[in-house]
Amino acid sequence: MDSLTGPSLAIVIRTLNTADTLSKVLAKLSLRPGDELIVVDSGSTDGTLELACSAKARIVPIKAADFTYGRALNVGFATAEQDWVLALSAHTVPLRPDFLDLYRAAITGRFQPNVAAAVGPTLSSDVDRTLPGGVTHFELEDFTHGFGFGAGNPNSLYRRALWEKHPFDEALGGGEDLDWYVWALRQGHSIAAVHAAEVLYISRRPFSAFYRKGRVDFRAAARLIRPHSPSAAGLIIRSAKLLLYAALGKTDWHGAKGSLAHGLGNYVEARALRKSGSRPAGQ
């Protein structure tokens, strides 16, 4: 792929003491003249800022007490000047050296004119890989009835002009990406999935943090769309697969633990919503 084709990008990364993984992320970003690297930091003390400075990033501080995912993204997007802005987590490491060029090529030759945003897969291990390439476009009916793509602001590209019309909801504790996608789809836009733009999610957060995030994510999804409701049998099967993959070295134990905790959080929240009589959107 010719890396000189396609538009310049702004890359916004949210950080808080993420030096270990940020170094891996930055090593996989093939930036070119015209690209912007913006780091929104909420109080790192572990060398994260030194790494960002060495990569010539523009550092935008935000108080930890003021942090929400939506607010950090709005601050970063407001700093960006390019037409397309990539929201990337400091925990998500691109799997291909041409990661940014995959998005550039999609913008130039693969996107429908009405694309508002695009996502790449966020994987917990190599065994989660599905489609090797191509671009899929999602319309409102697809998205709200559960034909999602399993990714969001850890690896998501936005048309900045549309973000200016509708910034992220800063009051949401999670699901600000889904909230934005649904808004854009209701305006007649589409969301694209760029299947080759994969990232590997690496985090050492405790089991309880992934469990809470699983509950928050399912609750946010159920408010907006009709998500797949996890079953006890499915959770058991997934647990067995994760343990097997970890034992075989196809994923690490931290990744298996995080995926299991997130799935358990999804399952518990789905049961809680059913018990309370709440129904997913569209039902």
Instruction: For 115-142, write each residue's pLDDT tens digit.
Output: 999 999 988 766 666 667 889 999 988 8
Per-residue pLDDT at 127: 60
DSSP designation for 226: -
3-state DSSP assignment of residue 99: helix
Query: Mean pLDDT of residues grouped by 10 in the chain (283 residues)?
Result: 74 95 96 97 96 97 93 97 97 94 95 95 72 85 67 91 97 86 94 93 79 79 74 86 78 76 85 76 49
From residue 71, how far is each of 14, 32, 33, 66, 159 by CA, in Å?
10, 27, 28, 8, 18
| 195 close to 135: Cβ distance less than 8 angstroms | yes
From residue 48, how far is each of 32, 60, 72 by CA, in Å?
22, 13, 16
Residues with Cβ within 8 Å of residue 171, at least 6 apart in sequence: 68, 70
Q: How far apart are CA 152 and CA 120, in angstroms?
A: 8
